[in-house]
Amino acid sequence: MSPAIEIGWNVLLAAAEIGLFLRLRATGATTGRAATRLALPLLVALALSLPVAQEGFAVMRLWAWGVFAHGPFLFLALAVLAKGRARVAFASAAAVVLAVATDAFLIEPKRLEVEHIRLTSAKLKSPIRIAILADIQTDDVGAHERRAVRAAMQEKPDLVLLCGDYIEEEDDARRRTQHESLRRIFLEESLAAPLGVFAVEGDNDWGDWLDIFTGLPVRTSKVTFDAQAGAVSLIGLSLRDSRRTNLVVAPVSSFLIVFGHAPDFALSNPPADLLVAGHTHGGQVQIPIFGPPITLSLVPRDWAAGGAHDLGGGRTLVVSRGIGMERGSAPRLRFWCPPHVVIIDVVPASDQRGATSK
């Protein structure tokens, strides 16, 4: 969606809203009539967003403008026109929407968390700490991305897994600049681990994503690969294989980790002890109790929401909510779904403290 369409949509809608408000105020319309008239331009604009934007994320962006910018204006206009308790109710509604918008667009996208998950396994004789960095997904590398990498490295992981979607930028020159900025952060924050650092491809990565890791102690691959990381066997999935729901994985006697970008491969019930993925961003927007309305994944909504999930048979799926957000035409927000770095501690089953997740 071009900036001209986005600006034009908002300007025309704002002009219609302001014109109606002034007319309703001059004529002394009742609150009910004013609410109906003022809501009409917004409802029409939202209905027209699909043919105007012509792309899913762009439609969501226009809807976000409608809800979080034009919505408060609607409530404030009604507060001016109303009287008594209705005035207070409309003003309160505007304040709530503005508060949610402030959190979703300005606060929560940068409110990085470090989630610790603890598991046990009879296949290990010594503990192992794994750091998960998923969906850095930015077009403006800066302090937030540095904090995420630093937070992971401060945990002193034995193994680091990067689950794809590093830079989302279509322009070649700008993408190369962002690649170099992210590479510099990895260098300066000493991205390394005793058992290795492994990176796979995401669906927003262009063909040159491998350049990010030039000169770094990171094993990268665009195809599915096997590796040995100390006592741990590792399978890194190609983007295509991470989406397969009929993935075939040969069982091994050692502790096995299978990781990829999308979590859909978990539906094939691979005989792995630990399955790791990103991609969903936890939905980016979660509704309390319900969870994420949109996940762009085939897995159950509670899996896609993020965290650790017991799949039975000694298998655990960990889905990261990611560090970044959808870029391009998508609305850049998070709500009830802060970004996070995931730290997984797997300890021998003889450890009497048991398996916990927090």
At 200-250, the pLDDT tens digits run 999 999 999 999 999 999 999 999 999 999 999 999 999 999 999 999 999
Report the pLDDT averaged over residues 274-296: 97
pLDDT recorded at residue 220:
98
Residue 263 CA to residue 226 CA, distance in Å, equals: 18
Token pair recorded at residue 94: 């505007």
Question: Over 60: is that where the pLDDT of 51 sits?
Answer: yes
The helix or strand, by DSSP H or E, that contains position 193, with its residue range, turns out to be: none
For the stretch 153-207, pLDDT in tens is 999 999 999 999 999 999 999 999 999 999 999 999 999 999 999 999 999 999 9
pLDDT recorded at residue 355:
45
Report the pLDDT averaged over residues 47-54: 86
Split at pLDDT 50, 70, 90, the class of 53 is confident
- Strand ranges in the chain using DSSP code E only, listed in sequence order: 113-121, 128-133, 159-162, 197-199, 218-220, 225-229, 232-236, 255-259, 274-277, 307-312, 315-319, 340-348
pTM of the shown model: 0.94
351 vs 2, more confident: 2
Asked whether 214 and 183 are in contact (CB, 8 A), the reply is: yes
Question: Over 50: is that where the pLDDT of 299 sits?
Answer: yes
Residue owning tokens 């331009």: 41
Split at pLDDT 50, 70, 90, the class of 1 is confident
Residue 258 CA to residue 266 CA, distance in Å, equals: 9
In sequence order, which residues have a C-beta less than 8 Å from that of residue 233 and are 6 or more positions away? Answer: 226, 227, 252, 254, 255, 256, 257
For the stretch 104-161, pLDDT in tens is 999 999 999 999 999 999 999 999 999 999 999 999 999 999 999 999 999 999 999 9
Q: How far is CA 275 from CA 241, 270, 315, in A?
A: 13, 9, 8
For the stretch 5-30, pLDDT in tens is 999 999 999 999 999 999 999 998 88
Which range is least confidently modeled, 29-38, 257-266, 287-296? 29-38
Q: Each residue of 68-86: b (16+ CB within 10 Å) or e?
A: bebbbbbbbbbbebbeeee
DSSP bridge partners of 344? 117, 130
For the stretch 73-98, pLDDT in tens is 999 999 999 999 999 999 999 999 99
DSSP 247: -
